[in-house]
Structure 1
Amino acid sequence: MSYTVQRTTEKPSIIRNKHHRNGRETAEKRQRNGRETAEKRQRNGRETAEKRQRNGRETAEKRQRNGRETAENGVIDWIPYNMHI
């Protein structure tokens, strides 16, 4: 059983415009994705830096507190390197 295939009636210029538009939209999409990725990496880096800073501060406070408690208990007669008395 044979059948006829309907051809597209679009002019070549319309097809060319469509391809051009697709290419432009793809380029815009890639640019937007790149920009969003850059912003995400920057935000992640900033959060990591803040986290490291907070961890360092907490570690320093913990060492200072431990050194002070050790000195108060009289177990040692030397002062740890990070104690500023």
Structure 2
Amino acid sequence: MKTSTIAEAKNNLSKLIHQLESDGAIHLTRHGKPVAVMLSEANYQKLTQKNKGLFQAIQQWRDQLDEDSALTEAELKQLRASGQERKFSWDE
């Protein structure tokens, strides 16, 4: 974790901004106590994006798969149909 005092950050802002592009974050301190964090634009965008629902995340993941390795609708139906009923008990 990279840290810098506020005074150092004020005097070396350009240098710190270049470091942010590769290091990701710099913690700013005042009198030895953390008071702020400087982030790269890329990290800021990741943090401020609205979270997608589980279904959307799964769909996005599936879209990234190679189409040749994806299951067809018929294959999915066959897998679902061949599944055995699972037995469950709290006692086991």
Q: TM-score range by the shorter chain?
A: under 0.3
Task: Look at both structures and tell me which one has the larger radius of gyration over its CA atoms.
Answer: 1
Higher helix content, 1 or 2: 1
**TM-score by structure 2 length?**
0.22
Where relative contact order (Cα < 8 A, 6+ residues apart) is larger, the structure is 2
